[in-house]
Structure 1
Amino acid sequence: MVKQVRAAFTRQALVRAAAEVFADNGYARASLPAISRRAGVSAGALHFHFPSKDELAGEVERAATHAVTEMTRHCRRTRGSALSALIAATHQLVGAFAADPVTWAGFRLSGDPAWRDRAGLLDWWHTWVHDMLRQARDEGELTDGVSTEGAAAAVVAATVGFEVLGSRDREWLSTERMTQFWTFLLPSLAGAPEEDLTRMLSYGMAEAART
């Protein structure tokens, strides 16, 4: 039992260390010795759990995808409307970029041309955002004539853009930045009264505080 706990702890430490190295250096420049040093484990222990850099990167992206999936499920379950869930999820995702290196690295790897499975998580996120906007349209939340494809492109570009800009200036990963984005975009998307729009924004800020 003790060995199993120790092995699980070592594996988690390696995944987190790998995420930090991939986020800092990109897939091509990341090295297994650098990851083992950052994790504080031997090269032999690293190779026992992950025989190759590909397998380690794959585990980072799987862990990030799981985290984002659980995050979106929570937002959809607790926020009632599809548009409120989308606003809350974008706030929480940008907060996760600041707080969780695995989530951040998952998106970095997904857009890294050197990584063989690139775009997996980005494609998943784009599909989820589009699905929420389509549901919001079906529920009557969107203004007539709003393109769900165009709106999804704007939301995905903004969230991924905040992640890129946040690598240089952490202010881009703040709740205030995401709230500014939605304050600008939401009146063009939704035909709800102003008090309803304000409530949706407050939901997003509350979700950001959870990360």
Structure 2
Amino acid sequence: MSSGALHFHFPNKDALAAAVEAAAEFALAPAEQSARGAEGGGLQGLVAAVGRLMDAVSDDPVVRAGFRLGGDPSRKSGARLREWWYEWVRNALVRARADGELAEDVSAEAAAVVIVAATLGLETLGAADRYWRSAERLVQLWSFALPRLSPVR
């Protein structure tokens, strides 16, 4: 695609970046829907969603670009995809709380901050070394986090 064609469709770089983020969010929608319907409850759905997100970031250049653009501090109106991910995780934890799957002393808000920070950290580190996005790293994350989140200790 020529730069002229890009300028025809997008008035500036921020508009192009917003379109990439929107396309990444659209690409993640099927993973989001399947995670909502995961067997085993809300926390299991959250674990599945994080796994699917890491797969998508590894395999889909649009998703990968969407998250990277969302982390670009030079953008005037960035981070839409990251905000979407935070809201999704927080809502999953609120549902887990309603279903009795979240420990009473765990704030859904605080847990969402930790999980989003961890997953975006793995995504960022994975840009240089794919091992950070591996199943082994996700097992480490959940081995640490799930015992704290779960009401059964």
TM over 0.5: yes
- Once the two structures are superposed, residues 168-194 of structure 1 have per-residue CA deviations (whole angstroms, 9 ceiling, x without a partner) of 21100111111111011111111358x
CA distance in 2, matches of 1:96, 1:61: 13
What aligned pairs does 1:177-188 form with structure 2 within 5 A after superposition? 177-188=137-148
What aligned pairs does 1:34-183 form with structure 2 within 5 A after superposition? 41-79=1-39, 81-183=41-143
- Once the two structures are superposed, residues 33-65 of structure 1 have per-residue CA deviations (whole angstroms, 9 ceiling, x without a partner) of xxxxxxxx3334444444543332121011011
- Once the two structures are superposed, residues 53-79 of structure 1 have per-residue CA deviations (whole angstroms, 9 ceiling, x without a partner) of 333212101101112233211211233
Corresponding pairs, count? 153
% same residue: 48
CA distance in 2, matches of 1:187, 1:126: 21
Counterpart secondary structure, 1:78: coil
TM-score (norm 2): 0.89
**What is the alpha-carbon root mean square deviation over aligned residues?**
1.8
Residue ranges of structure 1 left out of the alignment (5+ in a row): 1-40, 194-211
CA contact (8 A) 2:38 2:44 kept: no
- Once the two structures are superposed, residues 58-117 of structure 1 have per-residue CA deviations (whole angstroms, 9 ceiling, x without a partner) of 210110111223321121123351111111000110111111111111111112111222
CA contact (8 A) 1:129 1:152 kept: yes
CA distance in 1, matches of 2:22, 2:16: 10
- Greater Rg, structure 1 or structure 2? 1
Tell me which amino acid in the other structure corresponds to 1:98. Answer: S
CA contact (8 A) 1:95 1:175 kept: no
What aligned pairs does 1:8-19 form with structure 2 within 5 A after superposition? none
TM-score (norm 1): 0.66
After the TM superposition, which segments of 4 or more aligned residues of structure 1 sit over 4 Å from their partners? none
- Once the two structures are superposed, residues 145-185 of structure 1 have per-residue CA deviations (whole angstroms, 9 ceiling, x without a partner) of 11212211110010000011111211001111111110111
Please state how far the C-alpha of 1:144 moved relative to its aligned partner: 2.2
Q: Would you tell me which structure has more helix in proportion to its own residues? A: 1
